[in-house]
């Protein structure tokens, strides 16, 4: 059995690598936190790993738009290696700023380095930290969300509003079930603030590619690593950190398929 081994990027304002690496380890994977500059200096480094995680944060201050500069840097300097990585059937996960980077470098929804969708300023006009409920698309090929129906997670962003560049893009995504998860209100609606915290079209919270092995989402699964992370935990809602399921799915997929 292949052991899951994740490279978790850090540096330049990425700020969730440690809890993200913790989440991978908590479900039995290995994780190394490596500076982006280590990867751009020696892109071959990537081949030591079978999962690439771009954690949340504010790379380069989100100046010029969230994750724009990080996306360019990775695309220009490591684009080839990332393509090889993906073609080898390995997994890529982008959380929050990492999702923004994947979208802006054009690795999601289609991994051909062309930007098709964006994550822009929240409709509310401000950064918000709040817990949301996600409904997972049961038909999605996404390996990260398998077997999960609903999941509560925190969002913490100012630029998470999903917008496709056009009708065709959205239709392709719908057709291939690339919309892996949506924000949902208690009554089942997808466009109701604050349950949809940012005004995303169709309440889109997370997106995968057609293979289901590249996945990005705005909410933070690594921040629900213990049951006391949930805002209602003192009411006894749960006894486990449910965000870890996303990481467990990834680790199990690697162990079974690589």
Partner 1 sequence: MGGDACRIEVRPTGNLRDPEAASLARQISELAGVRPSDVAIVRAYNIYGGLSDEEMERLGRELFADAVSEEFSFKEPFYPDYWRIEVGFLPGMTDNEGNTAREGIRDVLGKEVEAYASRVYAIKADFEDDAVLAEIAKKLLANEVIQAWKVYEPESGGFEPYVPRVELDHAPVAKEIELQVPDEELMKISRERTLALSLEEMREIKAHFAKAAVRKEREGVGLGRGATDVELEALAQSWSEHCKHKIFNARIDYSEEGDGVEGKEEKVDSIFKTYIRSATDEVRKPYVVSVFKDNGGIIRFDHENDIAVKVETHNAPSALDPYGGALTGILGVNRDVLGTGMGAKPIANVNMLCFGFLDGKDVPKGCLHPRRIAKGVVRGIEHGGNMVGIPTVNGSVVFEQCYTTRPLVYAGTVGLMPHAIGGRETARKEIKPGHLAVMVGGRIGKDGIHGATFSSQQLTTGIVGSVVQIGDPITQKKVIDMVLEARDLGLFEAVTDNGAGGLSSSIGELAQLSGGCEVHLEKCPLKYPGLDPWEILLSESQERMTLAVPAEKMPEIEKLARKHGVEASVVGTFTDSGRFHILFGKSTVAYIDMQFLHEGVPQMHLKAVWKDRMPIPPNKPLMQHGDALRALLASPNIASKEWVIRQYDHEVQGGSALKPLMEGNAPSDGGVIRPLLGRNEGLAVAHGLCPRYMEDAYHMAMNAVDEGVRNAVACGAKFGYLACLDNFCWPDPIKGPRNPDGDFKLAQLVRAARGMHDAVVGYGIPIISGKDSMKNDYHAGDSKHSINPTLLVTVVGKVEDVTKIASSDFKEVGDAIYVLGTTRHEMGGSEYFKLHGGTGAGMPRVRVKENSELYAALSKAIERGMVRSVHDVSDGGLACAFAECAMGGEVGAEMDLSLISKDTDEDAALLFSESAGRFVVSVREKDAFKFEKMMFGTKTKKAGRVRGDKRVVLRNGNNALVNEDVFDLREAWAGGLKW
Give the residues lining the site for partner 1 (CB under 8 A).
10-13, 15-16, 18-19, 22-23, 26, 35, 37-38, 56-58, 60-65, 68-69, 72-73, 76, 104, 115-118, 120-121, 123-130, 154, 156, 163-165, 220, 222-223, 225-229, 231-235
- 144 three-class SS: coil
CA dist 58 and 158 (Å) reads 10
Our answer to whether residue 255 is catalytic in this structure is: no
Q: By the 8 A CB rule, do 80 and 118 touch?
A: no
Q: Quote the tokens at residue 36.
A: 């982006």
- Fill in the DSSP letter of residue 253: H
Q: Is the CB of 90 or the CB of 157 nearer to partner 1?
A: 157
Q: Is the CB of 145 or the CB of 229 nearer to partner 1?
A: 229
Residue 165: CB minimum distance to partner 1, A? 4
Q: Is the CB of 49 or the CB of 224 nearer to partner 1?
A: 224
- 241 three-class SS: coil
Q: By the 8 A CB rule, do 96 and 220 touch?
A: yes
- One DSSP character per residue, 169-210 reads HHHHHHHTT-EEEEE--TTS-SS-TTTSSS--GGGEEEEE-T
Q: Where are the beta strands (DSSP E) in the chain?
A: 5-10, 30-35, 51-54, 91-95, 117-120, 128-136, 150-157, 161-164, 179-183, 204-208, 214-217
Q: Which of 96, 142, 181, 208 is catalytic?
A: 96
Q: Which of 81, 128, 222, 242 is catalytic?
A: 222
Q: Is the CB of 50 or the CB of 122 nearer to partner 1?
A: 122
Kindly report the backbone phi and psi dihedral angles of residue 176, in degrees, each rounded to the nearest multiple of 5, phi listed first.
-95, 10
Q: Is the CB of 68 or the CB of 83 nearer to partner 1?
A: 68
Q: Which of 81, 159, 220, 230 is catalytic?
A: 220
Q: Is the CB of 33 or the CB of 258 nearer to partner 1?
A: 33
Our answer to whether residue 16 is catalytic in this structure is: no
CA dist 157 and 4 (Å) reads 29
Max Cα-Cα span within the chain: 49
Question: Which residues, other chains included, contact 254 with Cβ-Cβ below 8 Å and sequence gap of 6+?
Answer: 2, 3, 4, 29, 50, 51, 90, 91
Our answer to whether residue 222 is catalytic in this structure is: yes
**Which sequence positions are flagged as catalytic?**
96, 220, 222
């Amino acid at each position: 059995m292949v052991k899951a081994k994740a490279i978790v990027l850090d540096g330049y304002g990425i700020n969730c690598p440690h809890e993200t690496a913790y989440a991978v380890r908590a479900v039995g994977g290995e994780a190394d936190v490596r500076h982006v500059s280590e990867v751009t200096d020696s892109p071959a480094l990537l081949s030591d790993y079978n999962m690439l995680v771009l954690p949340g944060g504010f790379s380069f201050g989100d100046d010029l738009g969230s994750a724009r500069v990080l996306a360019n840097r990775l695309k220009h300097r490591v684009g080839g290696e990332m393509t090889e990585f993906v073609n080898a059937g390995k997994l890529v996960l982008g959380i929050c700023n990492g999702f923004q980077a994947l979208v802006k470098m054009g690795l999601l929804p289609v991994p051909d380095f062309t930007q098709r969708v964006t994550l822009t300023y929240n409709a509310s006009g401000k950064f918000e930290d709040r817990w949301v409920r996600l409904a997972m698309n049961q038909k999605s090929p996404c390996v990260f969300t398998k077997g999960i129906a609903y999941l509560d997670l925190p969002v913490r962003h100012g630029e998470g509003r999903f917008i496709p560049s056009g009708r065709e893009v959205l239709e392709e995504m719908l057709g291939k079930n690339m919309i892996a998860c949506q924000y949902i209100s208690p009554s089942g609606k997808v466009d109701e603030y604050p349950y949809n915290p940012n005004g995303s079209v169709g309440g889109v919270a997370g997106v995968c590619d057609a293979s289901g092995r590249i996945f990005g989402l705005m909410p933070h699964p690594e921040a629900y690593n213990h049951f006391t992370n949930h805002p209602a935990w003192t009411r006894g809602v749960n006894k486990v950190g449910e965000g870890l399921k996303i990481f467990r799915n990834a680790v199990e997929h690697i162990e079974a398929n690589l």
